Amino acid sequence: MDWWIRLCVGVAAILVGGCTPVSVPPPVTLNQQWMIGIEHIRGDPLILQPLTNRFLADLAGMTNVQVVYVGVELNDFHFNAKDGDKLRVYPWLRAGGHCMEFTYIIYQAGQQERTYGLVVPALAAGPEPDTACVDRAASGFYQALAQQGL
């Protein structure tokens, strides 16, 4: 009889919302406002920077994000002067056969907290255009940040 009571309590907890089912998707937005400083994408032509600009635009459309290109001295100065929560991102297109690789540093209250890396794998279906890779990488990067609880 004891097992029956435990089973009923367990089912009741799940039905009332006391337990999170395994199939619940992770969060898809950032919890607070973050400034994201983007370095020039290695592998992108330096003068026009079409892929870096596309990556900036993709991230700028996300929730709770303020994006700045830190490849310009004045922008870099203002980014470094900000005391709030921010990330500095070093992207690399087509690194190691992947779509894109990132190294990013998290700063909180003006202090460097942690450094992470992220790999966006190449598609198994075959090659994709660089623009599609950048769009997919921006989305994957943002989702990874949200899953980290930022």
List pLDDT tens digits, range 22-57: 555 555 789 999 999 999 999 998 888 999 999 999
Q: Does residue 81 fall inside a structural domain?
A: yes
Range of the domain at 82: 25-147
- Number of structural domains found in the chain: 1
Q: What is the pTM for the complete model shown? A: 0.79
Q: Does residue 12 fall inside a structural domain?
A: no
List pLDDT tens digits, range 96-143: 899 999 999 999 988 899 999 999 999 988 889 999 999 999 999 999
Say what the pLDDT of residue 9 is. Answer: 47
Q: Let me know: does 108 contact 87? Beta carbons within 8 Å.
A: no
List pLDDT tens digits, range 79-95: 999 888 999 999 999 98
Q: Does residue 139 fall inside a structural domain?
A: yes
Say what the pLDDT of residue 23 is. Answer: 55
CA-closest candidate to residue 65, choices 95, 34, 38: 34
Q: For the chain, give the secondary structure using H, E and C.
A: CHHHHHHHHHHHHHHHCCCCCCCCCCCCCCCCCEEEEECCCECCCCCCCHHHHHHHHHHHCCCCEEEEECCCHHHHHHHHHCCCCEEEEEEEECHHHCCEEEEEEEEECCEEEEEEEEEECCCCCCCCCHHHHHHHHHHHHHHHHHHCCC
Q: Does residue 110 fall inside a structural domain?
A: yes
Q: Does residue 53 fall inside a structural domain?
A: yes
Q: Does residue 54 fall inside a structural domain?
A: yes
Q: Does residue 11 fall inside a structural domain?
A: no
81: domain CATH number?
Answer: 3.30.160
